[in-house]
Amino acid sequence: MKKIALSTLSLALLGAAGAAQAQSSVTLYGVIDTSITYVHHQSGGDNGWNMGSGNLSGSRWGLKGQEDLGGGLATIFQLENGFNSSNGQLGQGSRMFGRQAFVGLESKQFGTVTLGRQYDPLVDLVQGITADNYFGSVFATAGDVDNYDNSSRTNNSIKYLSPNYAGFQVEGMYSLGGVAGKTGSGQTWSVAAAYNNGPLGVAAGYFKADNTNGVRTPTASGGGWNGTSDGTFNGPINLGYQTAKSINIARVAAQYTVGAFTVGAGYSNSQYKSDALSTFGSTEKYNTGQGFVNYQLTPAMLLGLGYSYTKSSGDTSAKYHQVSLGADYSLSKRTDVYLVGAYQHASGQTRNATGTAVVDAQASVGSYGYAGTSSQEVVAVGLRHKF
């Protein structure tokens, strides 16, 4: 990251001699993550070779900074742009700062309050102790039905993060729906808590996002979802539930480090609830259990193995088994090369893209959105640089 020190104009420059000069800092940072990816059963029975972006980390650039207000209080901000490094296109629905855009106040004594487009507390406090934190999308939940891969951000959000008390933190978020006369329409709220101390990390949280009332028109890109939080409708596993009344996600995770080994496990329960405006009849539930083990072979080489099992029930019933492998080698503090892969097998039935018919379940690794057959394999070799 490159830091640029700025001197804020003091009142003395305006003729008010003796006034204290506030200090500000701004950091320019970014990640470029590009790979060559092979997908077996990328579209039905057809295979594909692709240049991919954002396997381990979403490609991005951003600005973040703070102004010291004195007394342990500071103004903070962050603007973060997401892009596809293979073609230069904007990500997150072609937003200028689609990943993050917020401003807030940070107090060493009382915590931090931020306003804007932000990640929810499950991403902030739970995701960091999961396999996705180390090896990205190929270790994520099938179809990212529980936002394990950070597919979703929340607009219009007010978020509070407590100070760190001996490794313990809590966070809460509420997002204004913005629909006149209908306070709950489109709103989002979430809470989470985490404890990280030495080799042990434990975290849990809950997330609820409501869809807007009115017409919900399902599309191939998830247009039936119009809440303040982005939908995680990346492929055939949950695309048929984009007209849900709400998405409710509960997650818990833990990891422990012993010598060169880090082991972790997690569980999530995701519920896509229906109402009269939905194209499906009853709540679809996804229960997912995951585990991983990482081995720091050398100071530069990290190896990882993960397993994920997802079972849906309620409106339809399907099962998704996934095994993931990863190797990451650091060439320097800022640059690394990696090789990651995953195999997934699907069985049972789910909804089609519009939610109007029941079809055979299709495998779809992580949040890539590739619609396979009953099985799918993804292998990617890539280069990542941080600045």
Q: Which of 157, 126, 132 is nearest to 144 (CA)?
A: 132
284 within some domain = yes
32 within some domain = no
Cβ contacts of residue 327 below 8 Å, gap of 6+? 301, 302, 303, 304, 338, 339, 340
Q: Which of 205, 202, 283 is nearest to 241 (CA)?
A: 283
What is residue 279's predicted lDDT score, i.e. its pLDDT?
Answer: 95
CA–CA gap between residue 151 and residue 311 (Å, rounded)? 20
Find the domain containing 278 and state its range. 38-386
Work out whether strand 200-210 and strand 246-258 pair parallel, antiparallel, or are unpaired: antiparallel
Output the domain CATH number for residue 82: 2.40.160.10
Q: How many other C-beta atoms are found inside a 10 Å radius of the C-beta of residue 91?
A: 17
Residue-by-residue pLDDT tens, the chain, 387 positions: 544 443 333 323 333 333 344 578 999 999 999 999 999 999 878 999 999 999 999 999 999 999 999 999 999 999 999 999 999 999 998 999 999 999 999 999 999 999 999 999 999 999 999 999 999 999 999 999 999 999 999 999 999 999 999 999 999 999 988 777 777 788 999 999 999 999 999 999 999 999 998 889 999 889 999 999 998 998 999 999 999 999 999 999 999 999 999 999 999 999 999 999 999 999 999 999 999 999 999 999 999 999 999 999 999 999 999 999 999 999 999 999 999 999 999 999 999 999 999 999 999 999 999 998 999 999 999 999 999
15 within some domain = no
Q: What is the DSSP letter of 200?
A: E
What is residue 374's predicted lDDT score, i.e. its pLDDT?
Answer: 96
**Which amino acid makes up residue 367?**
S
Cβ contacts of residue 185 below 8 Å, gap of 6+? 177, 179, 210, 212, 213
Q: What is the DSSP letter of 90?
A: B
Q: How many residues are present in the chain?
A: 387
End-to-end CA distance of the chain: 5
Q: CA–CA distance from 74 to each of 19, 71, 77 (Å)?
A: 18, 9, 10
CB 260 within 8 A of CB 274: no
For 92: left if phi > 0, alpha if psi spans -120 to 50, otherwise beta; the answer is: left
**Which amino acid makes up residue 19?**
A
CB 327 within 8 A of CB 302: yes
CB 203 within 8 A of CB 125: yes
What is residue 214's predicted lDDT score, i.e. its pLDDT?
Answer: 82
203 within some domain = yes
What is residue 22's predicted lDDT score, i.e. its pLDDT?
Answer: 57
Q: Which of 235, 176, 181 is nearest to 209 (CA)?
A: 176
Place of tokens 């409501």: 210
**Which amino acid makes up residue 61?**
W
CA–CA gap between residue 37 and residue 114 (Å, rounded)? 37
14 within some domain = no
CB 121 within 8 A of CB 206: no
Q: CA–CA distance from 279 to each of 45, 183, 215, 269, 352 (Å)?
A: 28, 24, 11, 22, 11
Q: To which H or E segment does residue 132 belong? A: helix 132-135
* pTM for the model: 0.90
What is residue 372's predicted lDDT score, i.e. its pLDDT?
Answer: 85
362 within some domain = yes
What is residue 133's predicted lDDT score, i.e. its pLDDT?
Answer: 96
What is residue 137's predicted lDDT score, i.e. its pLDDT?
Answer: 94
What is residue 13's predicted lDDT score, i.e. its pLDDT?
Answer: 31
244 within some domain = yes
DSSP bridge pairs for 254: 202, 265
| Domains in the chain, number | 1
What is residue 213's predicted lDDT score, i.e. its pLDDT?
Answer: 86
DSSP bridge pairs for 360: 349
CA–CA gap between residue 323 and residue 292 (Å, rounded)? 10
Instruction: Calculate the CA 228 to chain-centre distance.
Output: 15
Q: Which of 94, 82, 98, 85 is nearest to 50 (CA)?
A: 85
Q: Which of 346, 227, 340 is nearest to 286 (CA)?
A: 346
CA–CA gap between residue 143 and residue 308 (Å, rounded)? 12
Instruction: Calculate the CA 197 to chain-centre distance.
Output: 23
27 within some domain = no
